[in-house]
């Protein structure tokens, strides 16, 4: 159950990142005019999808607090790196972002770090 809290933290965090990117793409470029910038931000803040990403950020925090009652921070925190991996993979899938050799190597190092870090 302890690791479920970490998994929930990761999933809620990744959901929020993907949804915000999706909704910002739909909203279009950030306007140059200050008044339009404020309107743009307000429109996004009232967007139900963006609100759901904020709710998930809150739920990620609650899940993380639960994880912290059960696991040492030095053990649990490296697992948060899985969020980087999932965001890169999902951005390639949903937004057609490229996964370069350098990104792949970086992801491999993250996985290696998680493996080494979780051993003690």
Distance CA 50, CA 8 (A): 19
Q: Supply the pTM of this predicted model.
A: 0.89
Determine the pLDDT at residue 16: 97
Domain boundaries, the chain: 2-118
Which ranges of 1-100 would DSSP assign to H, the alpha helix? 2-27, 34-45, 48-70, 73-76, 82-95
Query: Which residues in 23-36 are b (16+ Cβ under 10 Å) and which e?
Result: beeeeeeeeeeeee
Determine the pLDDT at residue 51: 98
Below-70 pLDDT ranges, the chain: 120
Determine the pLDDT at residue 1: 81
Determine the pLDDT at residue 67: 97
Determine the pLDDT at residue 120: 64
């Amino acid at each position: 159950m302890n690791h479920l809290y970490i998994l929930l933290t990761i999933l809620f965090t990744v959901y929020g990142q993907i949804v915000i990117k999706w909704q910002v793409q739909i909203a279009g470029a950030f306007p140059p005019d200050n008044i339009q910038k404020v309107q743009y931000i307000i429109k996004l803040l009232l967007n139900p999808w963006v609100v759901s990403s904020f709710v998930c950020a809150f739920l990620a925090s609650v899940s993380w607090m639960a994880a912290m009652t059960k696991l040492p921070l030095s053990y649990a925190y490296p697992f948060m790196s899985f969020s980087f991996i999932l965001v890169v993979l999902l951005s390639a899938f949903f937004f057609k972002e490229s996964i370069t050799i350098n990104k792949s190597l970086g992801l491999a190092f993250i996985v290696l770090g998680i493996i080494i870090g979780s051993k003690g």
